[in-house]
Amino acid sequence: MKEFVISEAKVETAVIVGLVTPYQNERKTKEYLDELEFLADTAGAKVVKRFTQKVNGPSSVTYVGTGKLEEIRDFIKAEEDEEREVGMVIFDDELSAKQIRNIEKELQVKILDRTSLILDIFAMRAQTATAKTQVELAQYKYMLPRLTRLWTHLERQRGGSVGLRGPGETQLEMDQRIIRNRMALLKQRLKEIDTQKTTQRKNRGRLIRVALVGYTNVGKSTLMNLLSKSEVFAENKLFATLDTTVRKVIIDNLPFLLSDTVGFIRKLPTDLVDSFKSTLDEVREADILIHLVDISHPDFEEQIRVVEKTLADLGASEKPMMIVFNKIDAYTWVEKEADDLTPKTRENISLDELMATWMAKLGDSCFFISAKTGDNIKELKDLMYKKVRELHVQKYPYNDFLYQHYEEEE
């Protein structure tokens, strides 16, 4: 069966659309659309315009109001008149089949939502058989309720009823049955992969397991490369790595296992979390979590909350955890004028003040580094050594795996 993929080879231009609601103010909507634009860029599309609308909630028929939809349509037509074709319109929330059908009818271009865009990036990034299977399953889960629009690979049944009476089934029912059978096959394949991975984990010996977790694009793979002296793919794109990478790391005389996991994101589709359960088992089975945070991001505190919620959903929120703030080299702030008596905002807080606040709150369970420049990496290794060794001695009191002390080669 042909795999469902949304992306096309050529670079396309896109328009993005979001809502300002009582639950999502203008600042939040701007941040979400910034992220949606980054997602579009990662998928290979260039955003040329963004539209927002203040409403109480999304329209069940067309997501935005009819006036805003006409405004988007007029913009697309004006661009076409100037021979600048708009290839797609991307909405910041998941759309129903009904919404997609109505919007597509009005705008006459390809319609995507945040979920289909993330699925597209995952399909592009999947390298191993495991990741490809997980992505394909998530794609089918997304497709199933939207079949009337998306599924056209089979020839439609002819009209009329002669010869078709009785226990026959409609084309849509056939399509649904084909997809459900395919999903059952993929789930079985993932179970087999999960069993293999569980066996592999059991064979890793008596070593403490440390998992890097965090929002997407916070620098997990870069830190992994620094700590393990290996070459894990890293770039400034969302979801650069989908497959969990596990490396044996030695700090001083202490060996342990370090794993790099897929990044989390706001509004991450539930189907993706479900499909990637086996990959995220590395998080569930870790002895200690290192939660990496991009401190230079203007909304890093919400990113922390998103990761904490995802960890809670995975049943991993009670594990020992360190928060490591990365990208201190990219942190910027604006000093307030002496006569400015208005309250400080997030952008007026210096890095030193931020560090003092978090250290007062978390003690030695937080640390500040730059994986890019190497700032404080040696001190981070010392802290990791201390925390991992404490766990190692508790878990394996009679373990003779600790190496003799030796000076690491620089």
| DSSP letters for 125-156 | H--SHHHHHHHHHHHHHHHGGGHHHH---SPP
User: Class assignment of domain 206-334+345-395?
Assistant: alpha beta
Q: What is the mean pLDDT of the chain?
A: 82
Quick check: 277 pLDDT over 90? Answer: no
pTM of this structure: 0.79
pLDDT band at residue 237 using 50, 70 and 90 as cut-offs: low
Location of structure tokens 């992994």:
224
H or E segment at 214?
strand 209-214
Average pLDDT over residues 110-119: 91
R_g over Cα of the chain: 25
From the number of C-beta atoms within 10 Å of its C-beta (0-12, 13-18, 19+), residue 94 rates as: middle
pLDDT attached to residue 106: 93
Average pLDDT over residues 232-241: 60
pLDDT band at residue 344 using 50, 70 and 90 as cut-offs: confident
Average pLDDT over residues 292-307: 91
Is there a common fold for 12-121 and 206-334+345-395? yes
Structure-block tokens of residue 176:
């649904």
Residues 6+ apart with CB under 8 A from 146: 96, 97, 100
Picking from 71-75, 287-291, 309-313, 326-330, which range would have the lowest pLDDT averaged per residue?
309-313
12-121 adopts what CATH topology?
Rossmann fold (3.40.50)
Q: Which of the given ranges, 14-18, 152-156, 259-263, 276-280, has the highest pLDDT on average?
A: 14-18
Quick check: 347 pLDDT over 70? Answer: yes
Phi/psi for 283 (5° steps) reads: -70, -45
Q: Cα separation of 271 and 141, whole Å?
A: 7
Look at the chain and count its residues.
410
Please list, residue by residue across 193-222, b when 16 or more beta carbons sit within 10 angstroms of its beta carbon and e when fewer do. beeebeeeeeeeeebbbbbbbbbbbbbbbb
Domain residue limits, the chain: 12-121, 127-148+169-203, 206-334+345-395
Residues 123-171: tens digit of each pLDDT: 887 877 888 888 888 889 888 888 754 444 443 443 443 443 444 456 7
Q: Cα separation of 368 and 365, whole Å?
A: 11
Location of structure tokens 């699925």:
119
Of 251, 253, 246, 255, residue with least CA distance to 285: 246
Picking from 184-188, 222-226, 347-351, which range would have the lowest pLDDT averaged per residue?
347-351
Label residue 219 left, alpha or beta by phi (over 0 means left) and psi (-120 to 50 means alpha): left
Distance (Å) of CA 386 to CA 81, 150, 381, 382, 391: 65, 54, 9, 6, 9
From the number of C-beta atoms within 10 Å of its C-beta (0-12, 13-18, 19+), residue 292 rates as: buried
Average pLDDT over residues 100-119: 91
Structure-block tokens of residue 294:
């991009």
pLDDT attached to residue 203: 61
Of 170, 167, 147, residue with least CA distance to 157: 170
pLDDT band at residue 393 using 50, 70 and 90 as cut-offs: confident
